[in-house]
Structure 1
Amino acid sequence: MTSLNKEQERGQWGSKIGFILAAAGSAVGLGNLWKFPYMAGKNGGGAFVLVYIIILFLVGFTLMLAEITLGRHTQLSAIGAYRKIREKWAWVGGLGVIAGFLILSFYSVVGGWVLSYLFKALTGALHESNPEVLGSMFGQLISSTTTPIIFHAIFMALNIIIVFGGISGGIEKASKIMMPALFIMIILLAVRSVTLPGAAEGLKFLFVPKFSAISTSVVLDALGQVFFSLSLGMGCMITYGSYIDKDTNLIQSATAIPLIDTGVALLAGIATLPAVFAFGFEPAAGPGLMFVTLPAVFSQMPLGGLFAVIFFLLVLFAALTSSISLLEVCVAYVVDEWKWNRGKATTIMALIIFLVGIPASLSLGPWANIHILPGRGFFDTYDFIASNVLLPLGGLLLCIFVGWIWGTENAIKEATSDGKVPFSLASAWVFLIKYVGPLAIGIVFVRSFMALFS
């Protein structure tokens, strides 16, 4: 069989814009729509945004380019990519596959909550302005035994349908629909939010930095948010990069993806924080911002029911564009390594992930007293192992591998279609991948791991 036929059998993106939308969709998720506004609210608004954008270019772009370049060069999933260059490093790719598997198992549970709230918004059940009532509603949902598992199953079924269709026919096609729709919906919400009386205070909070608010904690929170928001260290971008043709300029793509991701995060801040300020709610409301505070805000708006539907449909699309990339990491591994066909790999891997996610759901209700790590049930344990250990460790080792093992000269040559990169850009990226990236991610890793004992 020819090399071309092998590539066609494995799958490739149908277009450059298809890859960018799919990769940006992988990055755009609940971290943008919920966590970014919440982290901005917690860390002084504009001060956090300023630090976030600086770190985005220093660390986010650096690792994004490294991952997609490694993927395209090898045309293999995470484990195979490392093995092809240095066999003894294959286990580093394995960290990404395990991280994607674990994250999707609990991320799908949260995706189920979003589906449930979309149905509630459609039926008018969220038309309630009392945060205590809404808080009780949310608590009843996540602590229930069967309802969240049913929605967890529906959410995973949606992932199966999309990933089953392959790269260009499934993931790319879905991303080309969901990502533009996501932008339209979030712009509608942002316009509505900024036209509310008193919204100016929210915009000022978000975009006018108070330099006195910048602290070590703000910098570390921004660093962690950039790293996790861009789906780095979990094999997603290596896997997506492996489906790119050799004519695509990866530097342009690695620039566009973080910019789109940050654009959505900023729009999410504009769509939520001015409205929160306008109605006198707390901007640092934590997980309750999405499921308690914002429904209360919508209930007090003219046409609030419509905007609640738009918001939770937006969140569902964002959750799906991320979750399909996580499932694809696992599917690509099985297809490449075990030689299963895509249909079998997608169905079986999704079923296993669904089953592993059931304890995560139950740990917020009937199994709340079962602890795996100290003080953490299944849901929090999955989250901690993936987000605080596997992702930063995978990112740190990626920097070392590309910077020192594979070599930056090889990476730069692969990154462009003509092999030519401006000297200043190449020199800057080499310095960032060899020194700044490992140092920054090492700090995140140490800080995250210390959280286990805090």
Structure 2
Amino acid sequence: MMGQKATFTSKLGVIAATVGSAVGLGTVWRFPNEVQSNGGSVFLITYLLCVLLVGIPVMLAEFSVGRGSGSDAIGAYRKLTPLRPWWIVGVISVLAPYLIMMYYMVVAGWTLQYLWMSLSGALFDGVGSGAAEPEAFQAIMRHSLAEGWQPVFWTAVMIVVNLLVLMRGVQKGIERMANTLMPLLFVILLVFCVVSLNLPDAIDGVEYFLRPDWSKLDGGVLISAVGQAFFSLSLGMGILVTYSSYFPKSTNLPRTATTVSMLVFMVAVLMGLIIFPAVKSFGIEGSTQGTTLIFVTLPQIFMELPLPQLWAVLFFGLLVVAALTSTVSIAEVPIAYLTQTFRMPRRKACLLTLLPMLVFSTVCALSLGPWSGVQLFGMTIFDFLDYFTSNILLPVAAVGVCLYVGYGLPKRFFFKEVSNEGTVKFRYAPLFFWFVRIVAPLMILAAFANKLFFE
């Protein structure tokens, strides 16, 4: 499809696509670790406040730029302020997701690999019933990474799936996929939540998750909560600007931002209610960190349940859904730029964006195995890209959006967009504008300065 005429066709499509872009694998494995490290519900409460005070205002800022311009993440700045250099923020917002896609496709490929292993039963081969030794599941991941070809193959499969979805366009591809997969994701989450809450001694995990440890309430918790809100809502990645350019002009931006943010928060809470009761019930401590949680701890837990293969299929199916909706949204940012700036046919833009990714993601996958000796600043290529995008590009882009809306555009622009030119009452618009202009940039800078210089 040429140009920027495509729009989402329904309110469900707007919400489902935007939530799908935000609910990624980071919500699944980053959130439990943050909760464990930062005082249980003390972090949960602080995270909610950060979503309200930072997440929603910045999301509204990005929505206003995207829908107000009706253009891609670079074209939006050029269209709204053609004679000023704010387009640099857009360049960063396109560069960041492309670099993220290089390694995120590898992680997404892992979810496909583990779904296949769950379906075939290979995940539990050689693991005795009731034993559920972590070493067995750790060995599976180590062997896969060391061989190299398995993550490369499954990464390629994920890229091809993305290509098939994106080539169908905004309505038949992105929106239709989101309308189908996001309800499925919530159904699977609720099923796991019910199962986890009915495990023996599940109440201990619920209390751990929801009972605050006020002794851990300090500036570090606030910084961590800002970071979690930032990542869980896909701020600064150009995704929200791009997707909001597909919003119909009648879309209620404040309601959409609030609904999306609360649904993302709900996913995080449901993950907490799944993970912590299960971990406490089976006495598996200290294993809620990153890939260990997903690929070692949870398979251990599945081994302790009746029908372990069924639960593994459902869980890794859930991860595939989260991975697909988020990778599609990441890839759409450069695709939208190519179709609108260079008037490139969508099919060609999709191929130009994703086919080189077969090479780039292969390098990232192999950097965790056979090519692990290739280092950049003491990090593997995979880890370097993660560090560079997360700690430098994304916070710069998010702060740039805030400063752009707060200072680079006329004040009336924000109020016009969030009120749909006066047809929607939003009494908190002046407060939110103040948060966009001052509070959100300072909190984002504090969070990432802490991560960059003090961790």
Give 1:20-169 correspondences, 5 Å limit. 20-87=15-82, 88-127=85-124, 128=127, 129-169=132-172
Unaligned runs of 5+ in 2: none
Q: 1:438 Cα shift?
A: 0.9
Q: Could you say which residue in structure 2 is the equivalent of 1:212?
A: 215
- Residue 408 of structure 1 and its aligned partner are, at CA, apart by 3.4
The answer to whether structure 1 residue 257 and structure 2 residue 260 are counterparts is: yes
Provide the C-alpha distance between the structure 1 equivalents of 2:286 and 2:46, rounded to a whole number of angstroms. Answer: 19
Following superposition, the deviation at residue 353 of structure 1 comes to 2.1
Residue range with higher mean Cα deviation, 424-433 or 67-76: 424-433
Is the 1:79–1:93 contact (alpha carbons within 8 Å) kept by the matching residues of 2?
A: yes
Contact conserved, 1:194 with 1:271, CA < 8 A, in 2?
Answer: yes
TM-score (structure 2 length as normaliser): 0.95
The number of equivalent residue pairs is: 446
Moved >4 Å (runs of 4+): 420-424
**What is the CA deviation profile of residues 120-155 of structure 1, one whole-angstrom value per residue up to 9, with x for unaligned ones?**
111222334110111111111223221100000001
Q: Among 434, 443, 448, which residue is 2:446 paired with?
A: 443
| Stretch deviating more after TM superposition (29-38 or 308-317) | 29-38
**1:380-403 per-position Cα deviation (integer Å, ceiling 9, x unaligned):** 111111111110000011110001
1:346-371 Cα offsets, whole Å, 9 max, x none, are 11211122321111111111111111
| Whole-angstrom CA distance in 2 between matches of 1:193 and 1:437 | 36
Q: How does 1:334-349 map to 2 (within 5 A)?
A: 334-349=338-353
Aligned match of 1:178: 181
Q: Which residue of 2 aligns with 1:301?
A: 305
Q: Please give the secondary structure, in 1, of the residue aligned with 2:78.
A: helix
- Aligned runs of 1:342-361 on 2, under 5 Å? 342-361=346-365
* Corresponding residue number in structure 2 for 1:417: 420
* Superposition pairs of residues 374-393 of structure 1, within 5 angstroms: 374-393=377-396
1:317 paired residue number: 321
| Preserved contact between residue 36 and residue 225 of structure 1 (Cα < 8 Å) | yes
Contact 2:167 2:346 in 1 (8 A): yes
Note the C-alpha offset of 1:418.
4.6
SS of match in other structure, 1:148: helix
Shift of 1:119: 0.9
Deviations 1:63-98 (A, max 9, x none): 111111110000001100111122311111010111
CA distance in 2: counterparts of 1:283 and 1:334, whole angstroms: 45
Q: TM-score, normalised by structure 1?
A: 0.95
SS at match of 1:209: coil
**For residues 233 and 148 of structure 1, do their structure 2 counterparts lie closer, same or farther at Cα, with a shift above 3 Å needed?**
same
Whole-Å Cα distance in 2 between the matches of residues 133 and 284 of structure 1? 15
Q: 8 Å contact 1:41–1:284 — kept in the other structure?
A: no
The answer as to whether partners of 1:42 and 1:284 remain within 8 angstroms in 2 is: no
Distance 2:390 2:38 in 1: 20
Give, in whole Å, the separation in 1 of the partners of 2:286 and 2:20.
26
Q: Which amino acid aligns with 2:288?
A: A
Unaligned runs of 5+ in 1: none
Whichever residue aligns with residue 76 of structure 2, its letter is: A
Deviations 1:396-420 (A, max 9, x none): 1111000111133211211233525
Instruction: Report deviation, 1:424.
Output: 4.4
Report if aligned partners of 1:37, 1:269 keep a CA contact under 8 Å in 2: yes
State whether residues 126 and 299 of structure 1, in contact with CA within 8 Å, keep that contact through their aligned partners in structure 2: no
Q: Which amino acid aligns with 1:357?
A: S
The farther-off stretch of 120-129 and 14-23 is 120-129
Say if 1:265 and 1:283 are closer, same or farther in 2 by CA, change over 3 A.
farther
Q: For 2:428, what is the secondary structure of its paired residue?
A: helix
2:197 is matched with 194
Q: Percent identity?
A: 37
For the residues of structure 1 that align with 2:286 and 2:425, how far apart are their CA atoms?
43
AA partner of residue 291 (structure 1) = F
Match of 1:394 in 2: 397
Q: Deviations over 1:295-335 (max 9, x none)?
A: 00011012222111100000100011111000000100111
1:405 paired with 2:408, answer yes
- Give 1:258 shift: 0.6
RMSD between superposed Cα atoms in Å? 1.6
Q: Taking structure 1 as reference, are residues 82 and 284 closer, same or farther at Cα in structure 2, changes over 3 Å only?
A: farther
Q: Which stretch of the first structure deviates more once superposed, 407-416 or 225-234?
A: 407-416
Using the TM superposition, give the Cα deviation of residue 449 of structure 1 relative to its aligned residue in structure 2, in angstroms.
2.7
